[in-house]
Amino acid sequence: MTKSREAVHKVLRQSAGFRSAQDVFAEMRACGSKIGLTTVYRALQSLQDAGRVDVLRTDDGESVYRACETETHHHHLVCRKCGLTVEVTEPSVERWAEHIGLEHGFTDVTHTVEVFGTCSACAAKTEKAGKAEKTEKAAAAE
């Protein structure tokens, strides 16, 4: 692996969630690296091709990247609020994908499944903020 790819991979391994190429570039430059944005994009593509990083498309179409924790096929459970990501496997999804492909005459079926939601920590913060707002409104009404 080239020095640039290793440096980009290191940034992703130290990150908890998915990161955009721009985020990786900004962090590396802030730490004194002279790496260019084009080199970051090339490194991310090479790492993705090698199966070392996962890539997701955000709702606005931006690609975001994360270092794989495992080398086996997996899916992601991603918090919409904080980006916390958990790698998950689910054999029933694998069977379903194969079945649906065969049912429609497809072979060599592959798939990507990403599940989005709100993690328990973010849900607790939202609930706490909601309770505090109700308390403030009640106090203001008195």
Q: Starting from the edge strand earliest in sequence, which strands make up the sheet with 19-20, in order?
A: 19-20, 63-67, 53-57
Main-chain phi, psi angles of 113, to 5 degrees: -125, 125
Query: What is the end-to-end Cα distance of the chain in Å, rounded?
Result: 66
Q: What's the rounded Cα separation, in Å, for the pair 68 and 81? A: 21
Delimit the domains of the chain by residue range.
Answer: 1-68, 73-142
- Burial track 107-130 (b if 16+ CB lie within 10 A, e otherwise): eeeeeeeeeeeebeebeeeeeeee
What pLDDT is recorded for position 60?
84
Range 1-68: architecture per CATH: Orthogonal Bundle (1.10)
Annotated binding site for Fe cation: 73, 94, 111
Range 73-142: architecture per CATH: 2-Layer Sandwich (3.30)
Annotated binding site: 73, 79, 82, 94, 111, 119, 122
Annotated binding site for Zn(2+): 79, 82, 119, 122
Contact 101, 90 (CB under 8 A): no
Per-residue pLDDT of the chain (142 residues; tens, 9 = 90+): 789 999 999 999 998 788 999 999 999 999 999 999 999 999 999 999 988 998 888 878 889 999 987 777 888 888 888 888 888 888 888 899 999 999 999 999 988 888 889 999 999 998 877 766 666 665 566 6
What pLDDT is recorded for position 142?
65
What pLDDT is recorded for position 127?
81
The alpha carbon dihedral of 45, 50, 55, 61 has a sign of positive
What is residue 45's three-state secondary structure?
A: helix
